[in-house]
Amino acid sequence: MSISSDAELAGMQKISECVAMVLKAMRKHCKPGMSTLELDEFGGKMLEEMGAKSAPKLTYGFPGYTCISVNNAVAHGKPSADIILKEGDLINIDVSAELNGFWGDNGGSFVLGEDINNHQALVEASKEILQLAISQIKGGVKIADIGKLIETQAAKRGLTVIKNLAGHGIGYSLHEEPHDILNCYDRFNTTRFRKNSVVAIETFISTKSTIAASVAGDDWTLFGNKGGFVAQHEHTIIVTGDKPVILTEANGIWD
């Protein structure tokens, strides 16, 4: 989407605030002993109360309102009554939704309670790299250069990136052009960020893996090809000629 009217701006602000508030509330509500299904239903109820519809349900028939990935799961985690959250778990929640024809997307990884499994450094790296990447985005910047920055920053910390998951354009649907805002450098991608466009920028920072894929028995949850752990953080932003406007800032993932 390219913002071209006050109505479009207002629509994107409203849905972005909605998904941001749900993500923040789910993080706060999350407790050891709770199942990911319980946590998802809490988020789903909030979305419904706001009049919003779950984007993964609406678009893909996903069996949950939100994606909740725990520990070794990389992304698209399917909520389940059998997955019980524990102290020290690495948890990722991704909330995307539609409201009045506009779509918003955001996500974040965090450690539940005390960091007994030493995941916090990975979480901090993902947050820092996303913040740096977003600060460099403006109209005319090559998308591939942002991917290179993310990959380089991860390597400086002794980490890798997931190369087959990407940020994307958003607005009138969940995924729009540009589709491949990768976490790595793609020399064949000459596309540039366009002023006034709306994009979802996300980091997938990994301790070992570089590719995410599904495994037998789930069909939704993605795991890394080399194991390890992944932290993801995501904001929906408006590209400008200067600093981007962060539409999902209310989620507090940088707090």
29 is in an annotated binding site: no
Q: How far apart are CA 85 and CA 235, in angstroms?
A: 25
Asked whether residue 76 is marked as a ligand-binding residue, the answer is yes
202 is in an annotated binding site: yes
The 3-state DSSP class for residue 147 equals helix
User: What is the spatial distance between Cα 138 and Cα 133, in angstroms, rounded to a whole number?
Assistant: 11
Q: Is 49 annotated as a binding residue?
A: no
Helix (H, G, I), strand (E, B) or coil at 252: coil
Check the annotation: does 168 bind a ligand. Answer: yes
Helices (H) and strands (E) in the chain, counts: 5, 13
Q: Name 137's Cβ contacts closer than 8 Å, sequence gap at least 6.
A: 146, 193, 199, 201, 237, 239, 244
Tell me how far apart the alpha carbons of residues 190 and 184 are, in angstroms, rounded to a whole number.
Answer: 14
Are 144 and 190 spatial neighbours (Cβ–Cβ below 8 Å)?
yes
Does residue 177 have a known ligand-binding role? no
DSSP state at residue 236: E
Three-state DSSP class for residue 213: strand
Q: Check if the beta carbon of residue 56 is closer than 8 Å to that of residue 64.
A: yes
- The answer to whether 127 and 254 have CB atoms below 8 angstroms apart is yes
94 is in an annotated binding site: yes
Point out the annotated binding site for substrate.
76, 175
Residues at the binding site for a divalent metal cation are 94, 105, 168, 202, 234
